[in-house]
Amino acid sequence: MFQIAITFTTVMSVIAVIDSSPQLVALKSNQVKRWHIYAAVGIVGLLSAWGIRHAFSQRAQRHREVEYRKVLLTYSQVLKAGMTRKQVEDYLSSQHVPFRQMCCITAKELSGGVFDHAYDDLVKIGQEDSPWFCSENNVYVAFQFFGSKPQALPEAALSDTLRDVSLHQWLEGCL
């Protein structure tokens, strides 16, 4: 046992002498410097990749917005304010364009606090990235109508008149 203790102590002394030798300290210093360089290059690479991805994403977003505006302009040139719901929906049906109805895209105040509750028609033209708490972020052309008669509950009458054609984004399937 005494023999083992001396051997262990001798080994530890040799390791301490080797560990403090100038060549080993220089070697460790070079390894640390090299590691720092690799880490810095990795971080710069990741930041560059993120920046490039962000730039391409912004460019694609601008391109989609231009396309949405073109579609809106096309509908606005054909379907003018004052047309009836029947005329608008007949046109959409003749073009085989599916649409859905939704109440109150925007508040439509007639006068003195009286609001119009006519349904609006929506035509889906695109989809954007949705936040984590929603399943969809759809882009629609919204055909907003004034009701043909005052009513308390939302309604879609064929005699309603087109008030405005606009773009409308709608988050759907949210928590």
Residues 6+ apart with CB under 8 A from 97: 123
User: Which helix (H) or strand (E) is 91 found in, with range?
Assistant: helix 85-94
- pLDDT at residue 148, as a whole number: 76
Q: What is the pLDDT of residue 108?
A: 65
pLDDT for res 2: 46
Tokens at 1, concatenated: 């046992």
Per-residue pLDDT of the chain (175 residues; tens, 9 = 90+): 444 445 545 545 545 555 555 555 555 667 777 887 888 888 988 998 899 998 998 999 999 999 999 999 999 999 999 999 999 999 999 999 999 999 888 766 665 555 577 899 999 999 999 999 999 999 999 999 988 777 667 888 899 999 999 999 999 999 9
Helix (H) and strand (E) counts for the chain? 3, 6
Which pTM was predicted?
Answer: 0.70
- Integer Cα distance of 168 and 80 in angstroms: 18
In sequence order, what are the residues at sequence separation of 6 or more whose Cβ sits closer than 8 angstroms to the Cβ of residue 173?
Answer: 134, 135, 136
Query: CA 82 to CA 116: how far, in whole Å?
Result: 15
Contact, 106 vs 117, CB < 8 A?
Answer: no
Q: 9 CB contacts (<8 Å, ≥6 apart)?
A: none
Q: What is the dihedral of CA 134, 100, 108, 70, to 10 degrees?
A: 80
DSSP tag of 79? S
Handedness of CA 19, 23, 29, 33 (dihedral sign): negative
